């Protein structure tokens, strides 16, 4: 193995079976294999996956890469932060250095996935949180099932939404990303599709059949990545099992979505809390929004004040970062959190202590976290050694296949409304469904956007309200 990959060689103590690799014609499968630990990602697993991805990248026989998790409960419940926090608590600076090295390995893998030149598919079948999000959300094709449970729970353990959260969360529609980042709220099943976390939704019972079908695909040698992904997209739709009967509509919708975009638009956590309090206490606030606002305030009250303020700052600046800058800056921020007491405090209280206890955050409240404290997490000193990535120069500022894969975004609906002024409401929805070849979830997503953002003129034609 070249010296550039020396850090990925097997080390003493690595479990030889924590990741399983398999070949099925042109498909290469990667199975995270720590089901008793909910497939939590550790350094041993990363040291296996990176060399395999580089090998598959060079092989003309490897056409499609699929990553999934072993067991019925999780794709990957996150990085093994319990081990990191325990190491810091036990070994001090040595543990902090080891934790920083772990995050460096993890972010190199995440960036490699984000810039991978071959079709990479993630099966989000089960719990998908933290480090599991890094293994999946940057993939061009991300398949949710009825078992999907997505969350970024970092603010509750004294950390921040890393693994490229600076990139993908601010690029979700409206303020959904900021809401998910600060509150650690979960999205289940098809809701991950509607929010833009997943690009497809199918029933878990057909995943093995889908893998077999994908192994049959043969691409032209001259086909580019976009062409191959579109073929895979159409193939996945062959396994369309319909939406779940008890959860077929978007939940972050209507008045609730309006409230999310309003409350989480502000640039200070204090202003967000004030907006939520007004929603909770407002006489004219719809009952659903009142209840949501109260629950959201309770969620925020449990989080690390430092994590909340750093995370909000991350959401506001991350939207301008490209993929390389994202992981380099997150590497620096993670190192700062390893020096902060809230990480060990949060992980110990929430994950290590049985039963979980209430963390004693330092400082204990928002007013004690100054702007200078927040900026210290983002300030990179001159001469500081940064993270060396494995695929330098292969970067972008927006995911390259947003329009082709997944559901239409709000800006796509807006474009259609403004370019097809002759359409009535139903006609516009039908046109967008047809343009996506009847893809599952398109009708429900477009109807929600139209209901929230559109009106009608005097002739019954649809207009964008802005």
Out of 26, 69, 78, 79, the active site residue is 79
Q: Are 189 and 148 in contact (CB under 8 A)?
A: yes
Helix (H) or strand (E) holding 74: strand 74-76
Residue 299, classed as helix, strand or coil, is: helix
CB-CB neighbours of 385 under 10 Å: 6
Out of 162, 233, 279, 444, the active site residue is 162
* End-to-end Cα separation, the chain, in angstroms: 55
Catalytic site includes residue 438: no
Catalytic site includes residue 221: no
CB-CB neighbours of 295 under 10 Å: 14
Out of 110, 154, 233, 279, the active site residue is 154
Q: Measuring CA to CA, which residue among 108, 106, 158 is closest to residue 132?
A: 106
Out of 131, 134, 406, 441, the active site residue is 131
Catalytic site includes residue 68: no
Q: Measuring CA to CA, which residue among 250, 181, 272 is closest to residue 408?
A: 250
Catalytic site includes residue 162: yes
DSSP letter, residue 79: B
Measured distance CA(253)–CA(259) in Å, rounded: 9
Measured distance CA(350)–CA(356) in Å, rounded: 5
414: CB partners within 8 A, 6+ apart? 453, 464
Q: Which residues are catalytic?
A: 79, 131, 154, 162
């Amino acid at each position: 193995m070249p010296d550039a990959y020396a850090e990925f060689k097997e080390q003493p103590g690595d479990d030889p079976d924590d990741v399983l690799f398999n070949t099925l014609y042109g498909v290469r499968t990667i199975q995270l294999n720590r089901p008793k630990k909910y497939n939590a990602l550790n350094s041993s697993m990363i040291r296996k996956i990176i060399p395999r991805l580089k090998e598959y990248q060079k092989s003309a026989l490897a056409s499609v890469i699929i990553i999934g998790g072993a067991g019925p409960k999780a794709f990957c419940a996150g990085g093994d932060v319990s081990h990191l926090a325990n190491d810091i608590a036990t070994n001090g600076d040595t543990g902090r250095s080891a934790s920083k090295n772990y995050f460096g390995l993890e972010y190199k893998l995440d960036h490699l996935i984000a810039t991978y030149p071959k079709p990479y598919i993630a099966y989000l079948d089960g719990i998908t949180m933290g480090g599991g999000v890094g293994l999946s959300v940057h993939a061009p094709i991300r398949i949710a099932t009825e078992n999907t449970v997505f969350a970024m729970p970092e603010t509750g353990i004294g950390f921040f939404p890393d693994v490229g959260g600076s990139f993908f969360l601010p690029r979700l529609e409206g303020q959904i990303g900021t809401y998910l980042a600060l509150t650690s709220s979960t999205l289940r099943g098809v809701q991950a599709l509607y929010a833009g976390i997943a690009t497809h939704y199918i029933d878990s019972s057909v995943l093995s059949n889908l893998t077999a079908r994908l192994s049959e695909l043969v691409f032209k040698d001259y086909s580019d990545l976009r062409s191959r992904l579109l073929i895979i997209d159409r193939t996945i739709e062959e396994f369309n099992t319909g939406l779940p009967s008890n959860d077929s509509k978007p939940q972050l919708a209507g008045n609730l979505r309006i409230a999310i975009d309003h409350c989480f638009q502000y640039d200070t956590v204090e202003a967000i809390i004030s907006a939520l309090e007004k929603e909770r206490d407002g006489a004219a606030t719809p009952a659903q929004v009142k209840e949501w606002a109260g629950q959201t305030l309770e969620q925020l009250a449990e989080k690390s004040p430092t994590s909340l303020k750093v995370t909000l700052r991350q959401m506001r600046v991350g939207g301008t970062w490209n993929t390389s800058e994202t992981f380099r800056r997150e590497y620096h921020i993670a190192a700062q959190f390893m020096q902060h007491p809230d990480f060990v405090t949060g992980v110990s209280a929430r994950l290590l202590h049985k039963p979980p206890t209430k963390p004693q955050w330092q400082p204990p409240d928002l007013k004690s976290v100054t702007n200078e404290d927040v900026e210290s997490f983002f300030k990179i000193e001159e001469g500081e050694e940064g993270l060396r990535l494995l695929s330098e120069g292969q970067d972008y500022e927006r995911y390259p296949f947003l329009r082709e894969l997944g559901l239409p975004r709000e800006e796509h609906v807006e474009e259609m409304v403004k370019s097809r002024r002759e359409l009535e409401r139903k006609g516009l929805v039908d046109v967008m469904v047809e343009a996506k070849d009847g893809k599952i979830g398109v009708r429900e997503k477009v109807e929600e956007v139209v209901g929230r953002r559109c009106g009608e003129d005097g002739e019954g034609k649809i207009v964008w309200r802005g």
